[in-house]
Amino acid sequence: MTEHKHIYQAMFLLDNEEVRQGFNAARDWVKSTLEKHGLEVKVLRLWGERQLAYPIRGRKRATYLLGWLEGSGDAVNQVKREMYLLGPVFRCLFLQEEEIPAEELALGIPEVKDSEIIIPEEIEEPEFDEFVEEEPEAEEEAEEAVAADSADEETPDAELEEVKTDGN
Amino acid sequence: MATKKNRKFDFKDIEDLQVYMTAQGKIHPAKRTGLSAREQRRLKRAIKYARFLSLIPYVS
């Protein structure tokens, strides 16, 4: 049976920790994985590094790779299976398209120096649980203060009793 | 909102997609977007692809 070849637009979401070690290494891993399963890579370029709308695997930022490929649907399925098991790819999306836009085709696989890609550090915000832990201590302090107040209130009565006994 | 017939939506064009969404992240109905049934389906698909890639939130 002959395999029908299609054109696909693909987007890959890469782990910033892996990209920090070398963008070219991460991109080459994606490219070699695609080619290993018989997909022809026409374009593979950096689309951007940005904040995620919701965290994925504990990461708040990630790097996006955009690609244009040619190959069969079976190859795409095999690539997806491999990417979700191994490597720096969080998510990948393959969309079948009719043709590759000329402006994209002109870009090809541009060379990027690792030093050109600046990835900001993720700021670790304190977790909500840390604030919750402080509440019992505050409650204890409040209870102690109430107990102290009540002890102070008892003393005048005791003094009165003492005065009465002295008077008798 | 529809400016031309047979509009196509790109999942990468987040600003364009967010025009058709509520602040909560829901997709406006076709009655409000003014898109045809085919265009509304294209919009739906583009938004769902963008959500999958964490470009726009599922709920905000």
Using the beta-carbon criterion (under 8 Å), do A13 and B53 form an inter-chain contact?
yes
Interface test with B, best of A93, A97, A104 (most B CBs within 10 A): A93
Which of A69-73, A127-131, B44-48, B49-53 has the weakest average pLDDT? A127-131
Interface test with A, best of B10, B45, B54 (most A CBs within 10 A): B54
Q: In this complex, which of B11, B49, B54 lies closest to A53 when CB atoms are compared?
A: B54
Q: How far is B54 from chain A (nearest CA, A)?
A: 5
| Residue numbers of B between 18 and 47 with CB closer than 8 Å to A | none
Give residue-wise pLDDT tens across range A19-32: 999 999 999 999 99
Nearest residue in chain A measured CA to CA from B56: A53
What's the confidence (pLDDT) of residue A111? 79
Which of A53-57, A101-105, A146-150, A151-155 has the weakest average pLDDT? A151-155
Average pLDDT for A133-159: 61
What does the alpha-carbon distance between residue A61 and residue A13 come to, in Å, rounded to a whole number?
Answer: 10
What does the alpha-carbon distance between residue B29 and residue B42 come to, in Å, rounded to a whole number?
Answer: 13
What does the alpha-carbon distance between residue A2 and residue A39 come to, in Å, rounded to a whole number?
Answer: 15
More confident residue, A3 or A69: A69
Do A88 and A14 form a contact (C-beta atoms < 8 A)? yes
Q: Which residues of B23-33 are buried (b: 16+ CB within 10 A; e: fewer)?
A: eeeebbebeeb
Which value, in Å, is the radius of gyration of the alpha carbons in chain A? Answer: 32
Looking at the predicted structure, is the pLDDT value of residue B46 above 70?
A: yes
What does the alpha-carbon distance between residue A130 and residue A87 come to, in Å, rounded to a whole number?
Answer: 33
Chain A residues within 8 A of B54 when measuring between CB atoms: 13, 52-54, 56, 62, 91
Instruction: With cut-offs at 50, 70 and 90, classify the pLDDT of residue A118.
Output: confident
Average pLDDT for A123-150: 63
Do A68 and A7 form a contact (C-beta atoms < 8 A)? yes
pTM above 0.80, yes or no: no
Q: Which residues of A156-168 are buried (b: 16+ CB within 10 A; e: fewer)?
A: eeeeeeeeeeeee
